[in-house]
Amino acid sequence: MKTVCFALMLCLLSCGTNNNQQSSESKASSNTTMSQDDLIETGQSLFLQKCSSCHAVNMNLTGPALKGVDKRWHNKENLYAFIRNSQEVIAKDAYAKGLYESNHKVQMPPFADLKDNDILAILTYIKNASISARH
């Protein structure tokens, strides 16, 4: 009986290890395996590197405050596309056009290298930072 239990445990342990390996390999390309905390952490570092010179979460700088931004965009694809190349979306989307015009036609630089998961991470960070802000 003991041997059976032991064998079962070994199997469970090795199955568990396999899963972990898989999830760390696919972490970079898929969002299903990244935990909320990982997303927030990745998002924060991307935001500080690439966005914080023009954006804050709760305050307008060169660019608008990003608090609640995911709710202002009804079409998520356009939001992702705007972050990758704002001019492309300004040309076809009325909300983006209005935003550009009300921001003195300051162009946001394109971030073509951001993957879906990077953008999701940044948006998750923004959401989390808006919730934890006191004001």
- Binding interface with ligand HEC (CB under 6 A): 50-51, 53-55, 62-64, 66, 69, 72, 83, 86, 99-100, 103, 106-109, 111, 122
- Closer CB to ligand HEC, residue 16 or residue 68? 68
Residue 106 gets the label, from left (phi > 0), alpha (psi -120 to 50) or beta, of beta
- Closer CB to ligand HEC, residue 14 or residue 62? 62
**CB of 26 vs ligand HEC, minimal distance in Å:** 23
- Going from the C-alpha of 33 to that of each of 44, 55, 95, 108, 117, the distances in angstroms are 18, 28, 33, 31, 11
In which residue are the tokens 């990244």 written?
A: 34
- Closer CB to ligand HEC, residue 34 or residue 108? 108
